[in-house]
């Protein structure tokens, strides 16, 4: 793969997350009965950043959770024979709550479908909303995000690479072309 272009730097990621935080507050008329859940791996860090921003804006700490979808994926046989379940850590009760599911990139929708299955196995939320940093299109399932940091039209031969400081040393989103 070759690096094609940077589409979001650290400041753009920060601005996008701040905007998404405001949109979450506005759409839900506050954050009462909301839970923010990040899909492992990078969705967790984005969820934590959203919680921090919402706390600064609303002075309310929203419960945050982590969702491991490893065994809910429909492509598990194609991934790794040694898939490791890292485990989900959800707030005590998601039943009756508004769950904002957070991921880094929305592509085919299959990751989100797996996350929905995993969430439903843990309770019955009143509502599930989806927040993504990047929506790159090419959906294979009827899934649409409620909150988007940036829409990036891509070809199927491109990869959107999200790097976050918590795992990758720096914050940057770039598009790479498959060779």
Q: What is the pTM of this model?
A: 0.92
Q: What's the pLDDT tens digit per position in 59-84?
A: 999 999 999 999 998 776 544 554 44
Strand, coil or helix: 122: coil
In a domain? residue 68:
yes
Q: Which of 71, 153, 85, 74 is nearest to 109 (CA)?
A: 74
Q: Provide the pLDDT confidence category of residue 129 given band limits of 50, 70 and 90.
A: very high
Instruction: List the CATH number of the domain containing 48.
Output: 3.40.50.2020
Q: What's the pLDDT tens digit per position in 160-169?
A: 999 999 999 9
In a domain? residue 133:
yes
Segments forming the whole domain that contains residue 30 = 10-73+87-155
In a domain? residue 178:
no
**What backbone torsions phi and psi does residue 151 show, to the nearest 5 degrees?**
-90, 125
In a domain? residue 79:
no
């Amino acid at each position: 793969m070759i690096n094609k272009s940077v589409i979001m730097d650290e400041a753009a990621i920060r601005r996008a997350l701040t905007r998404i935080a405001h949109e979450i507050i506005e759409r839900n008329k506050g954050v009462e009965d909301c839970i923010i859940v990040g899909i492992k791996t990078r969705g967790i860090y984005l969820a934590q950043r959203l919680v921090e921003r919402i706390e600064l804006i609303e002075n309310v700490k929203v419960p945050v959770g982590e969702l491991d979808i490893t065994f809910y994926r429909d492509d598990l046989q194609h991934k790794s024979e040694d898939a490791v379940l890292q485990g989900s850590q959800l707030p005590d009760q998601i039943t009756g709550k508004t769950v904002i599911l957070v991921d880094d990139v929305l592509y085919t929708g299959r990751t989100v479908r797996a996350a929905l299955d995993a969430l439903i196995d843990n309770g019955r939320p009143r509502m599930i909303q989806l927040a993504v940093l990047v929506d790159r299109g090419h959906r294979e399932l009827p899934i649409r995000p409620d909150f988007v940091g940036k829409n990036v039209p891509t070809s199927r031969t491109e990869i959107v690479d999200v790097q976050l400081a918590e795992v990758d040393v720096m914050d940057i989103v770039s598009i790479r072309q498959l060779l």
